[in-house]
Amino acid sequence: MQTDCIPVMDDGAMEPYKCILICWIGFGAYWYISALAVRPVAERYPWLGQLGHKVPVIIGALLIFWPRQRFPWDMRLPWSGPASAWVGAALCAIGLGGAIWSRRTLAGNWSGNITFKQGHELIERGPYRFVRHPIYTSILLMGLGTALDVGYAGAMAGVALMFLGYWIKLRQEEQLLTRHFPSEYPAYKTRVKALIPFIV
């Protein structure tokens, strides 16, 4: 049984996947550099509680990039092909742009874990006008684009797991933010959706 991520492709079919890899490498590099300039932590969500979102996100990411383990994950998606691969590459590039925009807007308030920073601000400008958690939206868009290019059921299952993980994480973050912004954050939640503008 094959366990590699990508089926045998000609050079043309590999081009979308190369674009997607460049997006993910760019994402990782920008995240590493920007993490060097963040505010000190004032409060941290319990580490064990954070496992509730980390586990599905990590498993989801593994399924996206290595989906062909065994049935049913190795089933090809009915719409997979060159067109869906390029759509996936475009979605991944859009997600990368959204992630960088969101990260720059959040600036020193950002943290990879669930924390409340010293001098923490409630950001409602830039992409935060459209969704409360645009970084998660952008990463999920990158994951969806990658899954469309890979073309296996396991990759789509990975996107669903990542969505679940980020949904758990945003709920945990919002508990912390509501405690520190008891008036502002509930009002913000009533105006702006969590992940998908006007929907959810």
Is 80 exceeded by the pLDDT of residue 2? no
Specify if 82 maps to a domain.
yes
Strands (E), the chain: 41-44, 115-117
CA distance 18 to 6: 11
Cβ neighbourhood burial of 46 (10 Å; 0-12, 13-18, 19+): exposed
Specify if 65 maps to a domain.
yes
CA distance 179 to 109: 16
Is 80 exceeded by the pLDDT of residue 167? yes
List CB contacts of 28: < 8 A, sequence separation 6 or more: none
Specify if 87 maps to a domain.
yes
Specify if 118 maps to a domain.
yes
Tell me which residue of 181, 171, 188, 72 sits closest to 130, measured CA to CA.
188
Specify if 184 maps to a domain.
yes
The token pair that represents 13 in the structure block: 């079919």
Is 70 exceeded by the pLDDT of residue 164? yes
Predicted TM-score of the model (pTM): 0.90
Is 90 exceeded by the pLDDT of residue 69? no
Segment 109-113 shows an average pLDDT of 92
| Structure confidence at residue 16 as a pLDDT band (50, 70, 90) | very high
| Structure confidence at residue 48 as a pLDDT band (50, 70, 90) | confident
Specify if 150 maps to a domain.
yes
Instruction: Give the number of domains in the chain.
Output: 1
**CATH code of the domain covering residue 145:** 1.20.120.1630
Specify if 55 maps to a domain.
yes
CA distance 151 to 116: 39
Is 60 exceeded by the pLDDT of residue 150? yes
Quick: pLDDT tens for 25-38: 999 999 999 988 88
Is 90 exceeded by the pLDDT of residue 105? yes
Cβ neighbourhood burial of 94 (10 Å; 0-12, 13-18, 19+): middle
Domain encompassing residue 133: 12-191
Q: What does the pLDDT read at residue 78? A: 87
Specify if 140 maps to a domain.
yes
